[in-house]
């Protein structure tokens, strides 16, 4: 059970992709976290041309960086990562904002 958003984000990581079922293990509201289909995820990985590992899941997926942004927006009222271009930088800014706020 994940008690804090930062615990969930530690598990997923900035560039991680995992089953959206992980959201069911959270004691906090995750209703604003976007989910993606496996097909959409595979197309995104291919379009970026930078690699990535497609999980063997058949259901909805979550991405680390978009989960961090959604939780920051929801809990902080803003997205501290919005000023950054890279997904890793966006993730870190959101993570740090959540951590500083005790989430």
In this prediction, residue 25 carries a pLDDT of 98
Beta strands in the chain (DSSP E): 17-19, 61-63
18 forms beta bridges with 62
Total of domains in the chain: 1
CA distances from 27 to 22, 23, 75 (A): 11, 9, 14
> What is the enclosing helix (H) or strand (E) of 79?
none
Mean pLDDT of successive 10-residue segments in the chain (103 residues)?
97 92 97 94 79 75 94 93 83 95 94
In this prediction, residue 82 carries a pLDDT of 81
In this prediction, residue 91 carries a pLDDT of 92
In this prediction, residue 49 carries a pLDDT of 67
DSSP class of residue 76 equals: H
Domain that holds residue 34: 5-100
In this prediction, residue 50 carries a pLDDT of 57
- pTM confidence score: 0.90
């Amino acid at each position: 059970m994940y008690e804090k958003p930062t615990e969930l984000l530690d598990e997923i990581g900035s560039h991680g992709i995992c089953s959206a079922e992980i959201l069911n293990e959270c004691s906090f509201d995750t209703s604003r976290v976007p989910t993606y289909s496996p097909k959409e995820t595979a197309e995104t990985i291919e379009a970026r041309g930078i690699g990535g590992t497609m999980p063997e899941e058949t259901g909805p997926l979550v991405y680390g960086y978009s989960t961090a942004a959604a939780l920051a927006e929801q809990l902080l009222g803003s997205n501290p990562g919005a000023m950054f271009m890279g997904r890793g930088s966006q993730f870190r800014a959101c993570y740090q904002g959540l951590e500083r706020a005790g989430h």
